[in-house]
Structure 1
Amino acid sequence: MWPMGISAIAFVMIYIVHWSYKWRNPPSNGSRLHPGSMGLPPIGETIQFFIPSKSLDMPPFVKNRIKKYGPMFKTSLAGRPVSSDADFKYFILQQEGKLVELWYLDSFAEVFLGYIHKHLKKLISEHFGPKNLKGKLLPKLEDMVNRALHDWTMYESVDVKHACSTIILDFTSKLLFGYEAEKRGESLSETFASFIQGLFSFPLNIPGTACHRRVQNQKKILKTIRETMEERRASPAKSSEDFLDHVMEDMKAQNSLTDDLVTFVIFALLLATSETIPSTLTLAIKLLTKHPLVMQELAKENEEIIRSRENKETSITWKEYKSMTFTMHVILRMSGSVGILRRTIEDIYVNGYTIPKGWTIMIVPSSLHLKPEKYKDPLTFNPWRSKDLGPNVRAKNFISFGGGMRSCGGAEFSKVLVAVFLHVFVTKYRWTNVKEGEIVRTSMLGFGAGHYIKVSKQPEMKPENGDYHL
């Protein structure tokens, strides 16, 4: 028995060593792989990737590996290499459907993969693109912001991100499937907030884990959307003329548009607005508070828009929005995204190395936006730095809203919403910090313990000797 036991142990040890060697040296069809580390099997370097940072700098995980291995390296974050080279990123974003395809981490996959296609992207563009923004949504967005900021003045303090998440989710859920938080007596923001906390968690779906809570909250939201679809079918005369109505009409002729597909698409669109836009607005308020010169320039541009109107009480127009040059510089300066993922569908050869077919490429926007070789003091909040950059340079160096063939379908909606919020906020209100939230950057931008401000109406701003005083 002893020899058999020793042999079994030896066999297991040999197997583990062999498995570990194969993990650390993945197959590459005889080609050279980029330098880097695959970490410890089976989790690789996933834990290191999710260690939070308290800085707006590029994530330490990426920064440290660029310093050690160079601008491109391999890792075992979901298995694959990471790119931080500007020209290569621009190239990859143009190669969708040729050399790469859209891909997400496993916790994203069940939500997104296989569900967004050209037909639905066209519908999204029709509802949230420039034409509808210009014709219908712009005044609705301004009205939403006006009502929300007025409500904020009633409180001793407001948690900016939480408050922004609530108003934006209430607004987009009504546009998408007619969900009215007031009538339902419940906003979706709390459920989404809990869902997002578990979005990048370790995929262990047992009770008590963040992953399990994520799954349960996802089911709850999907159930709400599905019930709305069933109510629409039961009462077809009660049309809401929202996104869901148009999709359900198309479902009659498009067999590929199933209930599951439509439900997941609406869920994905809600998710896209529930986290990134509130984080951007919170960061904007935090940074504007600390940079009075930026604040003054922003207020001056937006106040001038109001002064140039014949009727000062009219709503913002599309022409006025497109004239917000400095406002857009402020928006472009902020990015909360850690990575954009693509999966290779062919071997890709770059700089003497190979990225094998089936591997994943992570494009890190902050490694472009904060590149020290390109920008002096890259961490400084300096919106003026993009003023003289041409459109081709911006296309390669600013990917806050995606890029290439897979640019964010709601990019213009997001930019308009942020611009309108800032326009109303800096021209009609003033604020003071009550409790400054600490930046907590993991896979998404967050604010530890919340960022609280006190908001009040401000008197009309008047120029003194050509300068605007806040």
Structure 2
Amino acid sequence: MEWLIGCWVFIGILVGWYWIKEKKKIETKHGLPKGNLGWPFIGETLEFIASGYTSRPVSFMEKRRSLYGKVFRTNILGTPIIVSTDPEVNKVILQNHGSTFIPAYPKSITELFGKNSILQINGTLQKRVHALIGGFLRSPQLKARITKEIEHSVKFTLSTWKDMHEIYVQDETKKITFEVLVEALMSIGPGEDMKFLKREFEEFLKGLICIPIKFPGTRLYKSLKAKERMLKVVRRIVEERKTALRNTNEKPPIIDFVDVLLRDIEESSEMQRLPSDFITGNIIELMVPGEETMPTAMTLAVKFLSDCPVALEKLMEENMELKKQKTDSSEGYAWTDYMSMQFTQNVISETLRLANIINAVWRKALKDVEIKGYSIPQGWCVLASFSSVHMNENNYENSYRFDPWRWEKMGAAVNNNCFTPFGGGQRLCPGLELSRLELSIFLHHLVTSYRWVAQQDEIVYFPTVKMKRKLPIRVTPIST
């Protein structure tokens, strides 16, 4: 027994000695940001995670920014990392992509999405796929069609609320967004395939932030198996569409993203052709906003409006005015109708700023880089923190207060370096307009159909942003 204890003490001394040696080596590097790597192996991870369960999730960043400056070094999730809370540094990181910085995500994410993931591909291929997605989502044909599809989904879901004793907003919003997005991606309507994909996708998402061990029974293993089952369905749909395309002499109109990718393959040379597995894998990856980010944004908008009755009343007035105009003219809604409501867009901007659903991006330096006097050595990971910028009092007065009116004063500042809910640079989210449209339609039909009372609930920020109790509310239909 004494021998065993002695071995552990010896190992502990070795680990401690090695850690101190590595820390000194890092600390003597010229120009490297100040900071602290914390304990051996775990670094400062525990404090980082703990802050995600508080009402001030960026407290970890704020504390170190006050000690070391806007850019500092730390060690979280087993990785020595440089953190930037400086909007100008973040801009350089986001724009210098491919040749200087490449994506660097936790192993569980890279395992689940695979090497051909949109998150991980670089260079010409990334630009090409990003352009294909963006072009499709911005096309007038899709905008006209998807506006109607979102309206239908929102109205149908809201119509079921009047008979429900209690509504859990976080669950209900997922019914709206997932089906709309899957239909836009693959033209799958309600039915067995949709139910299957939704069930398996929920299982798949559970493994995004987990211990990266793939033994049977582990979380990652279960999520990988769920992806395999989804791939079979998506692969079948893609192959059926391929066959139909080969058997016609005419070019049918593009109706979904599968069509976009297949048309690109048909018109590309052999060397540039996208492999089939690339298509099926990325179709699954593109489902993430429908199940995770958009439902969260909708839920948090309801939460913030519930806590700010003055903003809710102003929002209702603007949307009731639009509804009256449409009723009087007997015209349907268009994309531009929803997007032209200024206060509604201010509510959405403030929700995205305060919610910080995408709170940061992870990158890895391919070579030594210097930005604003800070050195980022080759091989180091760098985290560009969006939430720290959004919650900084120097950028937003009373930053923890929900204040849609701030955007009236800021004007064009919605497009500046201090507001990055959709990222930036070459990887700026191509679905940002579609995201705003979905939120606009949901808020319009919600506030013109119901008044509600929300129960007490709290936002949890780790491992992903969500409501602790799924935001239960009771609704009362508005008489018309």
- Equivalence for 1:455: 475
Is there any run of 5+ residues in structure 2 with no aligned partner, and where?
A: none
Once the 2 structures are TM-superposed, how far is the Cα of residue 199 of structure 1 from its aligned partner? 1.1
- Equivalence for 1:370: 391
Q: Which moved more, 1:446-455 or 1:95-104?
A: 95-104
- What is the percent sequence identity of the aligned residues? 28
| Separation of aligned partners in 1, 2:28 and 2:264 | 46
1:249 matches 2:263: yes
- Equivalence for 1:415: 436
- Tell me how many residue pairs correspond in the alignment: 455
Secondary structure of the structure 1 residue equivalent to 2:379? coil
| Separation of aligned partners in 1, 2:141 and 2:41 | 48
- Equivalence for 2:166: 157
Secondary structure of the structure 2 residue equivalent to 1:314? coil
- TM-score, normalised with respect to structure 2: 0.85
Once the 2 structures are TM-superposed, how far is the Cα of residue 221 of structure 1 from its aligned partner? 2.7
Residue of 135, 141, 145 corresponding to 1:136: 145
- TM-score, normalised with respect to structure 1: 0.86
Write out per-residue CA displacement over residues 149-197 of structure 1, whole angstroms, 9 at most, x where no aligned residue: 1123232222211221232111111221233342437253343333333
Does the 8 A contact of 1:56 with 1:379 survive in 2? no
- Equivalence for 1:437: 457
After the TM superposition, which residues 97-108 of structure 1 pair with which residues of structure 2 at under 5 Å, given as runs?
97=98, 99-108=100-109
Once the 2 structures are TM-superposed, how far is the Cα of residue 43 of structure 1 from its aligned partner? 4.1
1:386 matches 2:407: yes
- Equivalence for 1:173: 182
After the TM superposition, which residues 231-242 of structure 1 pair with which residues of structure 2 at under 5 Å, given as runs?
231-233=240-242, 241-242=255-256
Does the 8 A contact of 1:138 with 1:318 survive in 2? yes
Write out per-residue CA displacement over residues 4-29 of structure 1, whole angstroms, 9 at most, x where no aligned residue: x9x99999677534532354346589
Once the 2 structures are TM-superposed, how far is the Cα of residue 223 of structure 1 from its aligned partner? 3.2
For the structure 1 residues 10 and 340, does the alpha-carbon distance in structure 2 shift closer, same or farther, using more than 3 Å as the test?
closer
After the TM superposition, which residues 4-19 of structure 1 pair with which residues of structure 2 at under 5 Å, given as runs?
16-19=15-18
Q: Which moved more, 1:273-282 or 1:114-123?
A: 114-123
| Separation of aligned partners in 1, 2:391 and 2:439 | 21
Is there any run of 5+ residues in structure 1 with no aligned partner, and where?
A: 461-470
- Equivalence for 1:465: none
| Separation of aligned partners in 2, 1:149 and 1:8 | 64
> How big is the alpha-carbon RMSD for the aligned residues of Structure 1 and Structure 2?
3.1
Q: Which moved more, 1:24-33 or 1:66-75?
A: 24-33
1:121 matches 2:134: no
- Equivalence for 2:282: 265
Write out per-residue CA displacement over residues 397-454 of structure 1, whole angstroms, 9 at most, x where no aligned residue: 1111112332101111111111111111111222233x44321111421112321223
Aligned partner letter, 2:291? S
Once the 2 structures are TM-superposed, how far is the Cα of residue 127 of structure 1 from its aligned partner? 2.5
| Separation of aligned partners in 2, 1:169 and 1:125 | 19
| Separation of aligned partners in 2, 1:311 and 1:98 | 56
After the TM superposition, which residues 288-307 of structure 1 pair with which residues of structure 2 at under 5 Å, given as runs?
288-307=305-324
| Separation of aligned partners in 1, 2:405 and 2:139 | 26
Residue of 316, 319, 338 corresponding to 1:321: 338
Secondary structure of the structure 1 residue equivalent to 2:284? helix
Once the 2 structures are TM-superposed, how far is the Cα of residue 312 of structure 1 from its aligned partner? 5.0
- Equivalence for 1:332: 349
Q: Which moved more, 1:153-162 or 1:126-135?
A: 126-135
Q: Which moved more, 1:413-422 or 1:330-339?
A: 330-339
| Separation of aligned partners in 2, 1:222 and 1:65 | 43
| Separation of aligned partners in 1, 2:51 and 2:9 | 40
Once the 2 structures are TM-superposed, how far is the Cα of residue 135 of structure 1 from its aligned partner? 3.0
Aligned partner letter, 2:239? E
| Separation of aligned partners in 2, 1:144 and 1:48 | 41
Does the 8 A contact of 1:57 with 1:370 survive in 2? no
| Separation of aligned partners in 1, 2:22 and 2:170 | 41
Residue of 434, 446, 449 corresponding to 1:425: 446
| Separation of aligned partners in 1, 2:310 and 2:408 | 16
| Separation of aligned partners in 2, 1:439 and 1:140 | 30
Secondary structure of the structure 1 residue equivalent to 2:287? helix
| Separation of aligned partners in 2, 1:222 and 1:23 | 44
- Equivalence for 1:147: 156
Aligned partner letter, 1:66? R
Aligned partner letter, 2:162? T
Does the 8 A contact of 2:89 with 2:372 survive in 1? no
Once the 2 structures are TM-superposed, how far is the Cα of residue 281 of structure 1 from its aligned partner? 0.6
Q: Which moved more, 1:439-448 or 1:249-258?
A: 249-258
For the structure 1 residues 397 and 379, does the alpha-carbon distance in structure 2 shift closer, same or farther, using more than 3 Å as the test?
same
Secondary structure of the structure 1 residue equivalent to 2:236? helix
Once the 2 structures are TM-superposed, how far is the Cα of residue 30 of structure 1 from its aligned partner? 4.0
| Separation of aligned partners in 2, 1:443 and 1:318 | 34
Secondary structure of the structure 2 residue equivalent to 1:341? strand
| Separation of aligned partners in 1, 2:11 and 2:152 | 67
Does the 8 A contact of 1:58 with 1:367 survive in 2? no
Write out per-residue CA displacement over residues 243-286 of structure 1, whole angstroms, 9 at most, x where no aligned residue: 11331233233554112211221112101332111011111111
Does the 8 A contact of 1:306 with 1:312 survive in 2? no
Write out per-residue CA displacement over residues 273-308 of structure 1, whole angstroms, 9 at most, x where no aligned residue: 321110111111111112110001111111222233
| Separation of aligned partners in 1, 2:322 and 2:330 | 12
